[in-house]
Chains A and B, each alone.
Chain A
C-alpha cells in the first residue's frame, strides 16, 4: 500500500521567490514518484518523475525535486517563481515497476503574488 501527504493545501510566494512544495510518501515497496501540474479545467501535465535513477530529478519549467529515502520525501522546488506557475500541483506515488495504482496527494494550490 502507498500514500502521499502534501503539506500545505495553499502556498503563496512572491514572483521571483523560491517555490517549495512538500510531499511525503509512504510505500511498502520501492516507489516511483511524480509531480503533476494542473491548470483550471485541464488535465494533468507531468512535471518530473523519479524512477530509481538519480535522486535529484530535473523537470520542465525549471522545477526539480529530490528523492530522500531517509526522510520519505520528494519535495518540489523552483528557484524563482513566475506568475505562470500559479496552478494546482499534485504529488503521486506508484509501486516501482508498474504504472498501476497511481495514488495522488491532496494537492497544493500555488499562488504567485506580483
Chain B
C-alpha cells in the first residue's frame, strides 16, 4: 500500500508553454501533498505544501504565480509550470501523507521536465 504515482514521468516542452504534472495517491487518501524540486546532483528542495481543498503554502522564494498547485481531491494534486523557461528544467517530485498528525511521506517516482 501507500503508492504515489506521477504523470508524466518526463516531458519536453518549448519555452513559453505551460506544463501540468499530476501526482496521485493510488491506494490511500492524501490529506497533504508536497512538491519538491531537485536539480542535478543536488538535494530536494520543498516548493510547496498543499492540503485538499485549500490553497497551497509556498516556500520562500517560490513564485506562486509560476508554479500553480491545485489539490482538488484527496487523491490528486497538480503542479502547473506556467510560461516555462529553460531555467525551470528540473526533476519534480511529489509526496503524500495520509491522516493527520505524524505520518510518513510517500514519494512519487518524479517527473523530469526539460524546457527547450
Contact = CB atoms under 8 A, between A and B. Distances in A.
Q: Do A and B bind each other?
A: yes
A107 B43 contact: yes
A99 B105 contact: yes
Contacts of A51: 102
Given A41-B112, A42-B110, A100-B49, A106 B43 contact: yes
A105 B43 CA distance: 7
Contact of B44 (A42, A45, A101, A104): A104
Given A42-B109, A42-B110, A43-B109, A102 B101 contact: no
A105 to B, nearest CB: 6
Interface centre among B32, B42, B95, B107 (most CB of A within 10 A): B107
Interface stretch (A12-20, A59-67, A71-79, A90-98): A90-98
A49 interface: yes
Contacts, number: 51
A106 B34 contact: no
Interface residues of B, number: 24
A41 B32 contact: no
Contact of B32 (A45, A46, A99): A99
Contact of A43 (B43, B101, B104, B108): B108
A32 B102 contact: yes
Given A42-B110, A43-B109, A99 B103 contact: yes
Nearest to B102: A97
Given A41-B112, A51-B102, A105-B43, A100 B107 contact: no
